[in-house]
Amino acid sequence: MRAYAVKFGEDPEVWGLAGLLHDFDWEIHPDLMGHPLKGAPLLRERGVPEDIVRSILSHGSAPGLPPRETKMDKALSAVDELTGLITACVLVRPSRSLHDLTPKSVRGKWKDKAFAAAINRAEN
């Protein structure tokens, strides 16, 4: 998120915070109807800026959540899927380590639609 913020001329602190917080309530509301909708009030109570709350809401999939409109909204959803793919790539490596995972390997797995098929490669 921080890298995309820099790429798009936005604040990496804000985008990074959105990335860190986006799934904060998953253990409280571990279903797609509750997360992140039911977590948003907790963020607001703690003073999280509304643009971050809105982006977090937009990455959810329950009906009635705000659409992905801003660059931060779209980056958050895309990076969420990408980090899931990277995690899956790590888990099938003999080392099970991120340290020896290469971008080339991730790109190869990206093209293999059967690998980590739950990852939505069209997310934006």
Q: How far is the CB of 44 from Fe ion (least distance, A)?
A: 17
Q: Which stretch binds Fe ion (CB under 5 A): 21-29, 86-94, 99-107, 116-124?
A: 21-29
Q: Which stretch binds Fe ion (CB under 5 A): 9-17, 20-28, 43-51, 101-109?
A: 20-28
Give yes or no for residue 23 binding Fe ion (CB under 5 A): yes
**# binding residues, Fe ion (CB under 5 A):** 1
Q: How far is the CB of 27 from Fe ion (least distance, A)?
A: 11
Give yes or no for residue 123 binding Fe ion (CB under 5 A): no
Q: Which is nearer to Fe ion, 23 or 123 (CB)?
A: 23
* DSSP one-letter string for the chain: -HHHHHHTT--HHHHHHHHHHTTTTTTTS-STTTTTTTTHHHHHHTT--HHHHHHHHHT--STTPPP--SHHHHHHHHHHHHHHHHHHHHHTSTT--STT--HHHHHHHHH-TTTTTTS-TT--
Binding residues vs Fe ion (CB under 5 A): 23
